[in-house]
Amino acid sequence: MSTSAGIHWLRVLLAGFLAEVVVIVLVLPIAVFVGKNTLPYSAPVASLLVCFVFAIWVGRGLTSQFVLHGTLVGVVATLIYVALTRGGPEPLAYLIAHALKLLGGAAGGFVAARRQKTSPQLQAPVKETQPS
């Protein structure tokens, strides 16, 4: 479905879907037990953190385009929410949450790239030579 240099769409779509599900699973109990007035605070924070985590997950198998993949995770999660609400009018806090999904995804992609660079398994093994 994808090449090593291309976009891994299956992982991006799965991560975006799961990210939106996890945001809903985290935010709804808070709204039910604490009150609906917490949604403008909990939804943006959950959106940022969950997309960050799933972008790192997507980046684990990549060799390039980490930030793009992470951003796409945020885009997919945002599109799923918009589809669920049929693009209806949204409060400012939810628009901020969508922007934070993109930011969290991009940041997760950046962290995944940094982890990949420092990973010892990607560094070339040092060959020891015997002195003659």
Write the pLDDT tens digit of every residue in 25-41: 999 999 999 998 999 99
> What are the CA-CA distances from residue 132 to residues 96, 105, 126, 128, 129 (Å)?
66, 53, 18, 13, 9
Residue 127 lies in a domain: no
Residue 50 lies in a domain: yes
Residue 41 lies in a domain: yes
Q: What is the pLDDT of residues 54-83, one digit of tens each?
A: 999 999 989 999 999 999 999 999 999 999
pLDDT of residue 3: 46
Residue 42 lies in a domain: yes
Per-state percent for the chain, helix, strand, coil, to nearest 5 = 75, 0, 25
Any idea how long the chain is? 132
Q: What is the pTM of this model?
A: 0.84
Residue 93 lies in a domain: yes
Residue 125 lies in a domain: no
Structurally, the chain folds into a number of domains equal to 1
> What are the CA-CA distances from residue 24 to residues 29, 49, 86, 92, 101 (Å)?
9, 13, 16, 18, 13
Task: List the domain range (segments joined by +) for residue 97.
Answer: 9-118
